[in-house]
Amino acid sequence: MVDSGRTPALFVDRDGTLMVDLHYLAEADRLEIYRGVTEALSLARAHGLRLVCVTNQSGIERGLVTDEDVRRIHARLNERLRPHGAEIDAFYYCPHLPERGCRCRKPGTELFERARRDLNLDIARSAIVGDRWLDIEAGRRLGIPTALVPPPGHEAEIEAELRAHGAMPDIRARTFRAAVLRLLARG
Residue 80 and residue 157: Cα distance in Å, rounded?
30
| CB neighbours of residue 24 within 10 Å | 15
The 107-136 contact track toward Mg ion, x by CB under 5 A, reads ------------------------x-----
CA 126, distance to chain mean position in Å, is 12
Binding range to Mg ion, per CB under 5 A, among 13-21, 29-37, 109-117, 164-172: 13-21
16 binds, among Mg ion, Zn ion, none (CB under 5 to 8 A by kind): Mg ion
Nearer to Zn ion, 74 or 105 (CB): 105
> To which H or E segment does residue 126 belong?
none
Nearer to Mg ion, 13 or 89 (CB): 13
89 binds, among Zn ion, Mg ion, none (CB under 5 to 8 A by kind): none
Least Å distance, CB 142 to Mg ion, is 17
Does 16 participate in binding Mg ion (rule CB under 5 A)?
yes
Question: Is there a catalytic annotation at residue 15?
Answer: yes
Binder of Mg ion out of 8, 9, 10, 15 (CB under 5 A): 15
Nearer to Mg ion, 56 or 126 (CB): 56
DSSP label of 184:
H
49 binds, among Mg ion, Zn ion, none (CB under 5 to 8 A by kind): none
Does 137 participate in binding Mg ion (rule CB under 5 A)?
no
Phi-psi region of 34 (alpha: psi -120 to 50; beta: other; left: phi over 0): beta
Least Å distance, CB 139 to Mg ion, is 13
DSSP label of 33:
B
- What is the crossing angle of helices 37-46 and 176-185, to 10°? 20
| Three-state DSSP state, 78 | helix
Least Å distance, CB 43 to Mg ion, is 21
Instruction: Give the Å distances, CA to CA, from 165 to 28, 97, 112, 146, 157.
Output: 32, 19, 21, 15, 13
Q: Interface residues with Mg ion (CB under 5 A)?
A: 13, 15-16, 131
Which residues are designated catalytic? Answer: 13, 15
